[in-house]
Amino acid sequence: MNEISLMPEEQYRRLQQRNAAEVKELWDLLDQVKDPEVPVLSIWDLGILRDVERDGDRILVTITPTYSGCPAMNTITDDVIAALKANGYDDVEVKTKLSPAWSSEWMSPEGRRKLRNYGIAPPEDAELDEDGLTPDAHAQCPHCGSRNTRRISEFGSTACKALFQCNDCNEPFDYFKKI
C-alpha cells in the first residue's frame, strides 16, 4: 500500500506545537497514556492531547473529548495524572477544552497506521457520501484490504465508530468515523 501521505494542516500545527514546547519531555512521557477504548492509540495519536504547560511546579494538561458523551474522559484524566505522578510530578491539573471541536483530522499518521493494524479502518479508508457522512459501502477492510464491503450499522461499539462487514473475507470490522 502506498504510504505517501500529505500531512493535513491541523496535524502539522499539532506537530509544530509539540516540537516547540518548553516541556517536550512531558509530551513524550504522555505518549504512554492510551485511549482506554482503543488501547493501541496514545492520546497524542488520537489528537485529544491539546497542550502541556508547566507553571513552576504545577503541570497543566489540556485534553479535548472526541464526542460529547465520550465516557473515556474520566479514565484518561486519571491516567494522565497517574503517568505524571509516577515520574515525580505531583501537582497536576487536567483541563478539558471544548473549542475548537475535535476533528478526526487531528489523528497522527502513526495513529492511522496503528489503527489499521489493530483491525479498525481509519477515517480516510472510506469515501464520505454526499452529506459528508459515513457511506453505506466500500470502506476498506483492514484485514484483507478489499473495498467490497458494506455498512452494517451507522453506530458501532463506541460513538466514534461505525460497523462494517467485508464481502470478500466476511470479517466484520469497525470504521473510525470521520468528523
Footprint of another protein on 50-79 (CB under 8 A) = 65, 67-71
Q: Which is nearer to another protein, 40 or 163 (CB)?
A: 163
Q: At 1, which amino acid appears?
A: M
Query: Is-contact 169 143, C-beta < 8 A?
Result: yes
Residue 132 interacts with another protein (CB under 8 A)? Answer: yes
Residue 99 interacts with another protein (CB under 8 A)? Answer: yes
Q: At 37, which amino acid appears?
A: E
Residue 155 interacts with another protein (CB under 8 A)? Answer: yes
Q: Which is nearer to another protein, 29 or 179 (CB)?
A: 179
Q: From the list 133, 148, 167, 170, which residue makes contact with another protein (rule: CB under 8 A)?
A: 133
Q: Which residue from 128, 143, 109 is spatially nearest to 179, judged by alpha carbons?
A: 128
**In the complex, least distance from residue 132 CB atom to another protein, rounded to whole angstroms:** 7
Residue 137 interacts with another protein (CB under 8 A)? Answer: no
**In the complex, least distance from residue 164 CB atom to another protein, rounded to whole angstroms:** 12
Q: Which is nearer to another protein, 26 or 174 (CB)?
A: 174
Q: Which is nearer to another protein, 86 or 152 (CB)?
A: 152
Site size for another protein (CB under 8 A): 25
Residue 98 interacts with another protein (CB under 8 A)? Answer: yes
Footprint of another protein on 100-119 (CB under 8 A) = 100-102
Residue by residue, what is the 3-state secondary structure of the chain? Answer: CCCCCCCCHHHHHHHHHHHHCCCHHHHHHHHHCECCCCCCCEHHHHCCEEEEEEECCEEEEEECCCCCCCCCHHHHHHHHHHHHHCCCCCCEEEEECCCCCCCHHHCCHHHHHHHHHHCEECHHHCCCCCCCCCCCECCCCCCCCCCCEEEEECCCCCCCEEEEEECCCCCEEEEECCC
Residues within the interface to another protein (CB under 8 A): 65, 67-71, 98-102, 131-134, 152-159, 163, 179
